[in-house]
Chains A and B, each alone.
Chain A
Amino acid sequence: MELRGYRLPMASSLLVWFALWEVIGRLELVSLIPPFTEVLRAFAEVVPTEDFVEAATITLQAFLIGMALSFAVGIGLGIAMGRNRAIGSLMGMWVNIFESSPLTAVVPALMALLGFGLPTMIVTVFVFSVWVIALDTQVGVERVNPSLIEMGRSFGASRRVLFTRIVLLAALPELLAGIRLGLIRGMKGVVIGQLLIAVVGVGYLFELYSRNFLMPEFWALLIVLFTFAFLASEAVAYFERKVSFYASSR
């Protein structure tokens, strides 16, 4: 959108929304919404507290381990599904089942299996994010131009070289898209896990703030979480854009 000829960056409209938020907060139209400046004040207050740091580390720990697990399994599974039709049709069934059902319902079952500590959080992050990674990787691998593989074979490339030099790179655009979506789902998973089971980490803070109706702190925490998830996925999106030039012309 242009304003007097100058192309406004897309995110600049968020400033309008923040201004609106400030107005709604000031006029106390909605009890849940404090003025945005209050939220910023709370942001400055909440982040340095020991509670927050502890909560952030616990959440990050579960998130990173869970994501690492789902990268390894997701990509491995996706490639296997892409390269081998039998695995593709078999695992495809499981991936589709879990991709379309509300995994929130699975969380209480995970607790019965793994207790309420870190293992459940890790598996929750894993279960929320692995399916989309596997699915997108499979699509990426299937879309690899067969002549590329034949070209590789014609030059005597071993299976491993064929895989790392050609298949993985050619499938990179979809693979990165899967990872980006996986990160976002993983973040939702860790928050839902903490809300539903052990009120630990950010789940505890959300419960404390909402229970005592501390809205500025609550929104500040949500913004912190969102910024983390958004930056992580934007970082991946940056690489995605870098390789997108050959995405379509594979």
Chain B
Amino acid sequence: MTGLIQVRGGRTVAKAVDRPWLLRAASIALVLGLWEWGGTIPVSIAFPKFSETLAAFAGMITDGTFAGAYAETAGPLIVGVSLTAVGGVLAGLVMGLSSRTEWLGLPVFIVLQASPSAAIIPLITFIYGIGFTAKVFAVVLLSAPVIVLNSYRGIANTPRSLLEMGDAFLAGRFKRIVKIVIPAGSGLIFAGLRLGLAQGFTGAVLAELLITPTGVGDLITFYRSVADYPRMFASILSIILVASVSVTLLQRLEQRLFRPEMRPA
């Protein structure tokens, strides 16, 4: 989009370039304008105007639909991600420290991360039924690889000089892990948890779309089944907003918690 601006008025871009938020606001306005235009044609009856979606969005906030749905999705998401967080970081730690476990565990997680594991979700119903546990499993399935692999990389790549320093000053095996290896890896471990949450959220939504519709996923399928497309698109918009806002906040927290120097050299 900016390309066009650049062609039309070189001067306008020069002025705007030093105020990035102006550019961003302009591009958001442009995309929403496109959406509105697409809705007015309409591209298809199932494609609502942005204004209708916004109205539906406001309505869903006031009548508590969003609150109820997100509370229901949050259940399996939080349980699932905290399970993987504890298990994943531990697995990453062990794999980072012992080459035998690394040999055994690493390929499996690399395989899991590269494979379209979403296809397994419909299967989960056969073991865990269609309730809460199935959704927790879906969240774990999708969030585990990124958490484990990041924790492993954080632990396995502790700078050699720090390890030698630990030995030179007689840090025992336990102290070496607690006072040097884990702090050095904590930047990457936290990044892993952040990505794990995003993947977990995808897992939760997928489970709700593929297994039994509850929570946020159900908003999409329910409003689609009664052809209330403004509310369906409002639900999709809410998912994107919630996800990007929470991930950006986590990134800010990560920057503050792990000052630049924290990232291993």
**Contacts from A to B (Cβ < 8 Å):** 1, 8, 10-14, 16-17, 30-32, 80, 85-87, 89-91, 93-94, 96-98, 100-106, 108-109, 111-113, 115, 184, 187-188, 190-192, 195-196, 202, 206-207, 210, 213, 218, 221-222, 225-226, 229-230, 233
Contacts and interface: CB of A to CB of B under 8 A. Distances in A.
A90 B111 contact: no
B118 A188 contact: yes
Nearest to B235: A105
Nearest to B102: A1
A98 B239 CA distance: 11
A89 B20 contact: yes
Contacts of A196: 209-210
A137 B67 CA distance: 39
Give the dominant DSSP class at A's interface: helix
Nearest to A86: B17
B162 interface: no
Given A102-B205, A113-B43, A206-B119, A1 B99 contact: yes
A164 to B, nearest CB: 20
Contacts, number: 154
Contacts of B108: 13-14, 17
B116 A191 contact: yes
A105 B104 CA distance: 35
Residue of A11, A30, A100 contacting most chain B CB atoms (<10 Å): A100
Contacts of A109: 232-233, 236
A158 to B, nearest CB: 20
Interface string B221-233: 0001000010011
Contacts of B116: 187-188, 190-192, 222, 225-226, 229
A213 B122 CA distance: 11
Nearest to B47: A112
Contacts of B120: 222
Nearest to A232: B114
Nearest to B229: A112
Nearest to A233: B114
A80 B105 CA distance: 40
Interface residues of B, number: 57
B106 interface: yes
Interface in B81-121: 99-100, 102-108, 111, 113-116, 118-120
Given A104-B209, A191-B116, A86 B43 contact: no
14 contacts: A13-B103, A13-B105, A86-B16, A90-B2, A96-B244, A101-B240, A101-B243, A101-B247, A104-B202, A104-B205, A112-B47, A191-B119, A192-B206, A225-B116
B115 A229 contact: yes
A106 B240 contact: yes
B216 to A, nearest CB: 8
Contacts of A187: 116
Residue of B2, B47, B116, B240 contacting most chain A CB atoms (<10 Å): B116
Contacts of A11: 107
Contacts of B210: 195-196
